Amino acid sequence: MAPQDDPAIPDATKLYRRVPPDQVVRDQNLGRLRPSTGLFTHYEMSVVLENKMAEDARELESALGPYDEHYLVSIIAEFARSEDQAVASTPSTDPYDEPAHGDVCGDKKRPKSRRKRFATTSAWEIEPPDGFEPPSGG
Amino acid sequence: MGDRVLMSTRSKDLALLTDEPGHVSPIGKSPFAWESVVTGPGAYAEIVRPCSFPTADPIVVVTKSDGSTYYVDSDSISDASMGRLTTSGNDYERLVTVDKYHGPTTTIRDEYGRSNKLKIVAPPDLSAVDVYRTYRATQSQPYTLHGATPIDKWRIAKRGKRPTILVPQEVLQTAWFSAAIARIAELFELGENWDGYQGRPIAVEHALNAVGFLLRVMSPDTPAPAIVPLSDGGVQVEWHQGGLDIEATFTSDDDRGLYWEELDSGSEFEGSLEGSTDDLRRLLAQIV
């Protein structure tokens, strides 16, 4: 059963999502790199909750977990809710401990237009270095 | 020069077979270490098997003197039991047999003693077959059987079940095709959990479907797309330029489809990959 929206998570909370290098694309329309919409296909989309990290005074980089070669973007909880998504705190221990783990979930099939809004609205928190060429090409 | 064959094996390899006898360009992580070449007047056949997946069946590619290319795999063959012509080489045996149910076949025994049978519809007169010499070959040292049967008269029984795409010669020269094939080879290197979200390895079927899609919609000058792996083993092809966002998604579920947005007008399309080709070509022409 999909998690229900947790109103205890403030609208202003950043929701961090890891970005594998293979899912970075160059958006020439926006003039910048961004995650592919393919990053936002999961029905229950794992995120790390900023407010929970703050409770433990964690560094931003720790949101990457063991994937320190990945990058990190954030979306705002208010935005996710405006897209008919529930935001829930779902601490996890598998595959690694992440007490600030959360889920963003909504339609069983998130429409591509919605994924695109997630992708273009997301903001880099840990971004690819200067000169990074996305392996995706294009 | 005829079309060339971009094919998958049962492993996750792709091979680009050229029109030159004995030449196979492996794409992907497993080298093709075994191949045999049978030459005849103006034609030849290649038998290809990836060494790191020894259970994979060989594939015979026959190129006729007019440049047309066919292939056959061993799935179509059952017992061969009649009219056997046998020859032994130093490293393995090559048998030419007549299958009482299926007509002439060729049986290849490899260095492990496994046999693979290949159906040959023609030539009907086996006395014309002269493939008695066998050699061991490696990728760097392909071998040729001189004086072999004139296989330009052969017909191929059927196409195999592997997803296979014919690539027109002129496409091989384009920048986008080279980039796409190189990218797909990279994607095949992605293992389990490649994204940290329990991502699956990329499926050959989806990758080849993406290439087939590109062959239908691309012109020589179309910019190469970004090719992005998906967590479910699918592939997404994307363009984000010229005021257009275009995405074609190849997966197993109902996520498979096409999406585009014209940013100036805000008009969007989300629907099937089929039936939208003309519109997509028109859009892609805008970003050339």
The whole-angstrom separation of Cα A77 and Cα A96 is 24
Average the pLDDT over B236-242 and give the result. 97
The whole-angstrom separation of Cα B123 and Cα B115 is 22
Question: Residue B249's closest chain A neighbor by CA?
Answer: A38
The answer to whether the complex's ipTM is over 0.90 is yes
Structure tokens, A111: 């429409």
Closest CA to B229 of A38, A26, A110: A38
Nearest-5° Cα angle at A30, A29 to A31? 95
Nearest CB among A26, A29, A70 relative to B243 is that of A29
- Which residues of B fall within a CB distance of 8 Å from A28? 240-242
Between B25 and B75, residue with greater pLDDT: B25
Between B283 and B136, residue with greater pLDDT: B283
The answer to whether B262 faces chain A, any CB pair under 8 Å, is no
Of the given ranges (A1-5, A93-97, B68-72, B245-249), which has the lowest mean pLDDT? B68-72
Alpha helices in B142-271 (DSSP H): 169-172, 175-187, 204-217
Residue B60: pLDDT band by 50, 70, 90 thresholds? very low
Q: How far is B244 from chain A (nearest CA, A)?
A: 7
**Beta-carbon contacts of residue A37 (< 8 Å; ≥ 6 apart):** A112, A115, A116, A118, A119, B236, B238, B247
Average the pLDDT over B170-182 and give the result. 81
The answer to whether A27 faces chain B, any CB pair under 8 Å, is yes
Between B70 and A130, residue with greater pLDDT: A130
- Phi and psi dihedrals of B4, rounded to 5? -115, 165
With CB atoms and an 8 Å threshold, state whether B259 touches A18.
no
- Residue that has been written with the tokens 């997803």 in this structure: B163
Of the given ranges (B121-130, B171-180, B227-236), which has the lowest mean pLDDT? B121-130
Nearest CB among A23, A66, A113 relative to B268 is that of A113
- Which residues of A fall within a CB distance of 8 Å from B226? 25-26, 36, 134, 136-138
Nearest CB among A65, A113, A136 relative to B227 is that of A136
Neighbours of B256 (CB within 10 A): 16
The whole-angstrom separation of Cα B14 and Cα B273 is 24
Structure tokens, A26: 């160059």
